[in-house]
């Protein structure tokens, strides 16, 4: 198969970028999208040109490293997969394919198609954890969690932090990501003690990093490789409302970060 | 006590205030439409209703002040969030394909703007009588202000009819997304009710627009006469 690729090239964070056209030749239908790009890069290297920078790691849809907006859709035309799981048989032979990086103020471009997604890490650092004393692991089945609750928490926890939700959102909002992280902890007994400060802290950092607000268009859900449902965004809104109510009854200078769980 | 005001300065907090203020306006719009349907019962019913509203000036002006402040709050937050959202993506995609965002959800700022312009026009036209003062202060046989006559007169004019129908289009588009969206913003979500919540926006939008458009068209087409 043969493709004509229109790829965003940008030398560095502060450089001006532009689209460049490349031919991908001798592509087999069973190649993944990233393997196809590997081939193009081999050709560029052979010609002494700079290869196209893109992110990848596991290439099996679990790490959240790969990205790419392919013909206007983050992670490409198939639902429920990452770019590394997308195969070239999905495209008609000879097709023109436009490849862009995730676009968001909170995700500055590092090079070509690679963006800096550490804003999501900083949101996690603000509260995407539980504070526990170290020591021996708790015995199994000491904390009983109903099947339903465990399954729902797992649905939320399957977020791999790829940022496609941000890329797809008209407002570059990170609500689906934050919703997944906040919900999965709020659903489990281990996460409950810190839930009030967690939701406020994580949403506070989300705002500070320059993500937009949620317009409830549900584009995020449609491109999420893990099918995280927007019902978790409703759950996040509930958590936030709950935190507001709970805080009315708390002292004005709330606790040091870990006081709630102490 | 933690100050609740801080709680509403975040984007999620702003959206919650927007949803609440928007729902307040939705309730008003529904009752406004139902009240006006009395056109179909004739001048006696409608003028009586209008007089009844004006008999309680304190209530009327409280309601007006309340509505105005809700509208101002809603619009200020809309502008603030929309600007913020524009800034959140400084470089646009060259190719953009939406997967499931509805048309009305993508045009909230535009339909909101149409609504704002329409509301201003509507207030100047029928409430203040600035745009057409020909029948502003006429009284009917019972000595009530002749609101009925004023409306009948207004909707003979095809330009006015077109403007009002355009306003209804903006209202329908805005409400179609807004009502469902506001429920999600308020965290209302449950497997048993989600279909109901999804249907709420289109249903409310359709009922309000049909009700209002029926009044306008019935008069224009001469089904309801002075
Ligand atoms: C007058 C000018 C108006 C403007 C400029 C305006 C603007 C907006 C915008 C931009 C949004 C989307 C906010 C977002 O997605 O972040 C919105 C939401 C909303 N609007 Fe309006 N609007 C106006 C009037 C109205 C009126 C008259 C109503 C009610 C009849 C209304 C009800 C709502 C509701 C319920 C929402 C949903 C809030 C949410 O998404 O949770 N708006 N409005
Ligand atoms: S919610 Fe989905 S799209 Fe967003 S970061 Fe997590 S896995 Fe990626
Ligand atoms: S490379 Fe790990 S998810 Fe695609």
DSSP code at position A52: P
Q: Is A20 in the pocket of ligand 3 (CB under 6 A)?
A: no
Average model confidence (pLDDT) for chain B? 92
Look at residue B76 and tell me if it is in a domain.
Answer: yes
Is the dihedral angle over the CA atoms A186, A188, A194, A198 positive or is it negative? negative
The residues spanned by each domain of chain A are 3-111, 117-249
Whether pLDDT at A255 is above 60: no
Question: What is the chain B residue with the closest CA to A19?
Answer: B94
CATH number, domain A117-249, options 3.40.50.1820, 1.10.1060.10, 1.10.1370.30, 1.10.3210.10 = 1.10.1060.10
Taking only the tens place, the pLDDT of each residue in B47-70 is: 999 998 888 889 999 999 999 999
CATH number at residue B139: 1.20.1300
Question: What is the chain B residue with the closest CA to A230?
Answer: B184
Nearest to A213 among B14, B100, B186 (CB): B14
Is B12–A172 a contact, with Cβ atoms under 8 angstroms apart? no
The C-alpha atoms of residue A219 and residue B100 are separated, in whole angstroms, by 6
Is B187–A252 a contact, with Cβ atoms under 8 angstroms apart? no
Q: Which domain holds residue B116?
A: 7-92+105-220
Ligand 3 atom having least distance to the Cα of A61: 3
Look at residue B125 and tell me if it is in a domain.
Answer: yes
Residue A146 phi, psi dihedral angles, 5° rounding: -65, 155
Nearest to B88 among A105, A230, A235 (CB): A105
Size of interface A-B (CB pairs under 8 A): 144
The side-by-side arrangement of strands in the sheet containing A69-70 is A18-24, A3-9, A96-100, A69-70, A73-74
Grade residue A253 by pLDDT with cuts at 50, 70 and 90.
low
Architecture of domain A3-111: Roll (3.10)
Look at residue B58 and tell me if it is in a domain.
Answer: yes
At residue A133, the pLDDT reads 81
**pLDDT cut 90: percent of chain B above it:** 81
Is B187–A238 a contact, with Cβ atoms under 8 angstroms apart? yes
DSSP strand pairing (A18-24 vs A114-115):
unpaired
Taking only the tens place, the pLDDT of each residue in A147-164 is: 999 999 999 999 999 999
Q: Is A164 in the pocket of ligand 2 (CB under 6 A)?
A: yes
What global pTM score does this model have? 0.93
Residue A98 phi, psi dihedral angles, 5° rounding: -95, 130
The C-alpha atoms of residue A89 and residue A133 are separated, in whole angstroms, by 51
Q: What is the ipTM metric for this complex?
A: 0.92
**Angstrom distances, CA of residue A211 to CA of A122, A219, A223, A227:** 13, 15, 18, 21
The C-alpha atoms of residue B83 and residue B14 are separated, in whole angstroms, by 13
Q: Which residue has the tokens 């490349």?
A: A22
The C-alpha atoms of residue A199 and residue B34 are separated, in whole angstroms, by 41
Q: Which residues contact B24 (CB under 8 A, 6 or more apart)?
A: B70
Is A216–B181 a contact, with Cβ atoms under 8 angstroms apart? yes
Write out chain A residues lying below 8 Å of B7, CB-based: 200, 240, 243-244, 247
Among protein residues, the one with the nearest Cα to ligand 1's atom 6 is: B112
The domain total for chain B is 1
Taking only the tens place, the pLDDT of each residue in B138-171 is: 788 777 888 999 999 999 999 999 999 999 999 9
Q: Are A65 and B89 in contact (CB under 8 A)?
A: no
Grade residue A262 by pLDDT with cuts at 50, 70 and 90.
very low
A38-49 mean pLDDT: 97
Whether pLDDT at B3 is above 60: no
Name the minimum distance, in Å, from the CA of B84 to any CA of chain A: 6
Whether pLDDT at A27 is above 50: yes
Give me B94's structure tokens: 């060259």
For residue A198, report the distance from its CA to the centre of ligand 2, in Å.
Answer: 19
Grade residue A257 by pLDDT with cuts at 50, 70 and 90.
low
B interface toward A at CB cutoff 8 Å? 1-4, 7, 10-16, 81, 84-85, 87-102, 105-106, 108, 177, 180-181, 184-189, 194
Q: Which residues contact A246 (CB under 8 A, 6 or more apart)?
A: A196
């Amino acid at each position: 198969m043969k493709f004509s690729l229109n790829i965003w090239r940008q030398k560095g964070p502060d450089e001006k970028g532009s689209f460049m056209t490349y031919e991908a030749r001798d592509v087999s239908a069973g190649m993944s999208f990233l393997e196809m790009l590997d081939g193009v890069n081999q050709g560029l290297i052979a010609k002494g040109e700079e290869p196209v920078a893109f992110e990848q790691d596991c290439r099996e849809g679990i790490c959240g490293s790969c990205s790419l907006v392919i013909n206007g859709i983050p992670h490409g035309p198939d639902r429920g997969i990452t770019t590394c799981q997308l195969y070239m048989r999905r495209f008609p032979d000879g097709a023109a394919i436009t490849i862009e990086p995730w676009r968001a103020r909170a995700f500055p471009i590092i090079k070509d198609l690679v963006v800096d997604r550490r804003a999501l890490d900083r949101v996690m650092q603000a509260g995407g954890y539980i504070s526990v004393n170290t020591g021996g692991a708790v015995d199994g089945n000491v904390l009983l969690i109903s099947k339903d609750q465990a399954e729902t928490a797992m649905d939320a926890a399957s977020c791999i932090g790829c940022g496609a939700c941000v890329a797809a959102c008209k407002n570059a909002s990170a609500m689906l990501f934050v919703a997944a992280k906040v919900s999965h902890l709020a659903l489990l007994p281990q996460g409950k003690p810190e839930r009030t400060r967690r939701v406020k802290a994580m949403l506070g950092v989300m705002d500070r990093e320059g993500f937009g607000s949620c317009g409830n268009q549900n584009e995020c859900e449609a491109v999420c490789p893990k099918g995280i449902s927007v019902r978790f965004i409703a759950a996040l809104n509930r958590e936030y409302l709950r935190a507001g109510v709970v805080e009315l009854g708390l002292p004005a200078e709330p606790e040091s970060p870990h006081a709630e769980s102490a | 006590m933690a100050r609740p005001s801080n709680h509403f300065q975040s984007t999620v907090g702003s959206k919650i205030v927007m949803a609440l203020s928007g729902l307040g306006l939705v309730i008003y719009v529904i009752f406004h439409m139902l009240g006006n349907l009395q056109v179909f019962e004739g001048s006696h019913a409608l003028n009586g209703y209008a007089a009844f509203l004006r008999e309680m000036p304190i209530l009327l002006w409280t309601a007006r002040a309340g509505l105005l402040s809700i509208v101002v709050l809603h619009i200020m937050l809309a502008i603030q969030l929309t600007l913020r959202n524009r800034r959140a993506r400084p470089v646009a995609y060259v190719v953009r394909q939406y997967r499931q965002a509805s048309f009305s959800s993508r045009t909230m700022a535009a339909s909101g703007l149409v609504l704002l312009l329409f509301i201003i026009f509507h207030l100047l036209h029928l409430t203040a009588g600035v745009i057409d003062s020909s029948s502003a202060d006429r009284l009917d046989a019972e000595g009530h202000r002749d609101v009925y006559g004023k409306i009948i007169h207004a909707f003979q004019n095809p330009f006015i009819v077109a403007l009002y129908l355009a306003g209804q289009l903006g209202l329908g588009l805005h409400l179609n997304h807004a009502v469902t969206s506001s429920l999600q913003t308020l965290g209302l979500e449950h497997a048993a009710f989600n279909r109901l919540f999804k249907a709420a926006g289109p249903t409310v939008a359709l009922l309000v627009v049909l009700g209002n458009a029926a009044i306008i068209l019935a008069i224009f087409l001469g089904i309801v006469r002075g």
